[in-house]
Amino acid sequence: MDRTHSPINSLMEQAAHIVRSQKAAAGTLESTEGYKRGQIKELIEFANANNLWISLTNLSVEFISKGGENEVYTGDKDDIVVKLNNFEYAGDDLENFFIRITVHNKFFSNVPYQMIGFAYNSLQEFCAVLVQPYILAEREATEDEIAAYMQALGFEMDYYDEYHNSDYEVFDAVPNNVLYGIDGDLYFIDTQIRLRI
């Protein structure tokens, strides 16, 4: 990850450590859903103890859209995108979320996520607050452009929107989640990533 944002990286690393520690402490006594509840409780305590709550009104952002896991906002004259991520796609273990963000930043470093704190979304769900650069796009990427890009990164195609290498699976790599920038680069703004089992 980009060490020029070390305080932000430190926050993500601390939160990931809390999640792993809570899971290890729970052991096999709790169901996996119990892991997630316990992990969220620990992150809320961490946010309270370290004043890590983000107010969207202080960020001067405007709502763009809502999906299954993110409420998306833009602001600061369209230089950033703010995502309130409710951990929905992490499944029953929030460690999956932190793996995904870390791996995204490794492979798609031209549009990195930065974790800046925590908030509640419009449905009052506990969320990580993520920031990404706002991409000036000419259009959505094509499936062929996405496939060529992923193959150049060393991934093999499983389906038109799913790829893998020896360690990771990248999926939901569809045109509306990958932008073709005005600079001619591809920007993977919202794919899913998991460890390959």
Say what the pLDDT of residue 6 is: 43
Radius of gyration of the chain (CA): 17
Write out the chain's pLDDT in tens, 197 residues.
333 444 445 887 888 888 877 666 666 555 555 778 899 999 999 999 999 999 988 888 999 999 889 999 997 666 899 999 999 999 889 999 999 999 999 999 999 999 999 999 999 999 999 999 999 999 999 999 999 999 999 999 999 999 999 999 999 999 999 999 999 999 999 999 999 98
- Reported pTM: 0.86
> Which domains, from first to last, does the chain contain?
11-133 (3.30.200), 137-195 (no CATH)
In a 13 Å sphere around the CA of 39, the CA atoms on its Cβ side amount to 31
Say what the pLDDT of residue 30 is: 52
Say what the pLDDT of residue 32 is: 58
Nearest Cα neighbor of 108 from 7, 174, 193 is 193
Burial class (CB in 10 A: 0-12, 13-18, 19+), 91: middle
d(CA 44, CA 41): 5
Say what the pLDDT of residue 168 is: 97
User: Position of tokens 């602001």?
Assistant: 75
Say what the pLDDT of residue 75 is: 78
Q: Could you give the dihedral angle defined by the CA atoms of residues 20, 24, 25 and 26, in that order, rounded to the nearest 10 degrees?
A: 100
